[in-house]
Amino acid sequence: MDGNYRRGGGPQRRAHRAMPQSTGLRHRKWWGDPVGYLFIAPAVLIYLLFNGYPIVRTILMSFQHYVWTDPRHVYFNGLFNYSQMLTDSAFHDALIVSLKVLGITLPVRLILAMICAVFISRVTMRLAAAYRVIVWLPYILPVAVTMRTWSLLYNPMFGYPNYVLSNLGLNAPDWLNDPVAVLPAFDVALVWEGFGFATLIFLIGIYNISPELLEAAAVDGAGAWRQFWSMTLPLLRPMILLVLVVSLMPLLQSTSEALNFVTPGNSTVVSGGPGDASTTLGLYVYNTAFRSPMNLGYASAMNMTLLVVGIVVSLAVFKTMRALES
Amino acid sequence: MTNGYHAGPRRRPGARYAPARKRAFGLVNWRSLCGTLLKHATLVVISIFTIFPLWWSLVSSLKGMKELYAAAPTLWPQSPSLANYKAMFGEASSQTFSLGQQALNSVMVTGGAVTLTTLVATMAGYGFARIPFRGRDVIFVIFLLSMFVPPLGAMMAQYELMDKLHLRNSLPGLILLLASGVTVPVFIMRQSFLAVPQELDEAARIDGASRWGFFWRIGIPMVTSAMTVVALIQFVYVWGEYVLTYIMEDSPNLYTLAVAVQQTFVPGLTETDQPSFSAYGAYCAIAVLTALPPIVVFIALQKWFVRGLAEGALKF
Q: What domains are there in chain A, each with its CATH number?
A: 1-33 (no CATH), 83-325 (1.10.3720.10)
| Amino acid A11: pLDDT | 81
Task: Collect all residues with Cβ–Cβ distance below 8 Å to B83 and sequence separation of at least 6.
Answer: B64, B274, B276, B277, B281
pLDDT higher than threshold 60 for residue A126 = yes
Which residues of chain B lie closer than 8 angstroms to A39, CB-CB? 123-124, 126-127, 131, 211, 215
Nearest CB to B132; choose among A32, A134, A215? A32
Contact yes or no for B124 and A192 at CB 8 A: no
Which helix or strand (DSSP H or E) is residue A134 part of? helix A125-140
| Amino acid A266: pLDDT | 40
- Identify the band that residue A197 occupies on the pLDDT scale cut at 50, 70 and 90: very high
Q: Give pLDDT tens digits for A144-153.
A: 899 989 988 8
Q: Give pLDDT tens digits for A39-66.
A: 999 999 999 999 989 999 999 988 988 8
Mean pLDDT confidence for A117-141: 87
CA A1 vs CA A21, A22, A60: distances in Å: 15, 14, 60
Q: Please indicate whether residue B20 or residue A160 has the higher confidence score (pLDDT).
A: A160
Mean pLDDT confidence for B154-166: 90
- Identify the band that residue A181 occupies on the pLDDT scale cut at 50, 70 and 90: confident
Lowest mean pLDDT across A19-28, B239-248, B294-303: A19-28
Q: Is A194 in CB contact (< 8 Å) with chain B?
A: no
Q: Comparing C-alpha atoms, which of B297, B304, B300 is closest to residue B225?
A: B304
| Amino acid B309: pLDDT | 63
DSSP string, chain B: --SS----PPPPTT---PPPPPPTTTT--HHHHHHHHHHHHHHHHHHHHHHHHHHHHHHHHT--HHHHTSSS--SS-SS--SHHHHHHHTTTS-TT--HHHHHHHHHHHHHHHHHHHHHHHHHHHHHHHH--BTTHHHHHHHHHHGGGSPTTTTHHHHHHHHHHTT-TTSHHHHHHHHTT--HHHHHHHHHHHHTS-HHHHHHHHHTT--HHHHIIIIIHHHTHHHHHHHHHHHHHHHHT--HHHHHH--SGGG--HHHHHHH--PPPPPTTT-TT--HHHHHHHHHHHHHHHHHHHHHHTHHHHHHHHHTTTT--
Q: Please indicate whether residue A235 or residue B307 has the higher confidence score (pLDDT).
A: A235
Ordered domains of chain B (ranges, CATH): 30-81 (no CATH), 99-265 (1.10.3720.10)
- Identify the band that residue A265 occupies on the pLDDT scale cut at 50, 70 and 90: very low
Q: Residue length, chain B?
A: 316
How far is A136 from B109, CA to CA, in rounded Å? 24
ipTM of the prediction: 0.81
Q: Give pLDDT tens digits for B98-151.
A: 788 888 999 999 999 999 999 999 999 999 988 888 888 888 988 888 777 777
Nearest CB to A141; choose among B159, B182, B294? B294
DSSP three-state, residue A180: coil
How far is A182 from B252, CA to CA, in rounded Å? 29
How far is B166 from B178, CA to CA, in rounded Å? 16
| Amino acid A104: pLDDT | 93
Lowest mean pLDDT across A193-197, A225-229, B182-186, B307-311: B307-311
Mean pLDDT confidence for A206-218: 78
Q: Give pLDDT tens digits for B163-219.
A: 999 988 889 999 999 999 899 999 999 988 998 888 888 888 788 778 888 888 888
DSSP three-state, residue A298: helix
Mean pLDDT confidence for A79-105: 89
CA A300 vs CA A65, A190, A294, B153: distances in Å: 10, 26, 11, 8
Q: Which residues pair with A76 in a beta bridge?
A: A64
| Amino acid A267: pLDDT | 39
How far is B90 from A257, CA to CA, in rounded Å? 30
pLDDT higher than threshold 60 for residue A143 = yes
DSSP class of A62: T
Q: Residue length, chain A?
A: 326
Under a CB-based contact definition with an 8 Å cutoff, are residues B255 and B288 in contact? no
- pTM, whole model, 2 decimals? 0.83
- Identify the band that residue A89 occupies on the pLDDT scale cut at 50, 70 and 90: confident
Mean pLDDT confidence for A77-100: 88
| Amino acid B174: pLDDT | 93
| Amino acid B93: pLDDT | 53
Contact yes or no for A265 and B131 at CB 8 A: no
- Identify the band that residue A139 occupies on the pLDDT scale cut at 50, 70 and 90: very high
- Taken in order A174, A175, A179, A184, the sign of the CA dihedral is positive
Rounded to a whole number of angstroms, the distance from the CA of A84 to the nearest CA of chain B is 18
> What residue in A sits closest to B282 (Cα-Cα)?
A265
What does the mean pLDDT of chain B come to? Answer: 81
Nearest CB to B133; choose among A36, A159, A208? A36
Q: Give pLDDT tens digits for A293-310.
A: 788 889 999 998 988 888
Contact yes or no for A192 and B53 at CB 8 A: yes
What does the mean pLDDT of chain A come to? Answer: 82
Under a CB-based contact definition with an 8 Å cutoff, are residues B125 and B192 in contact? yes
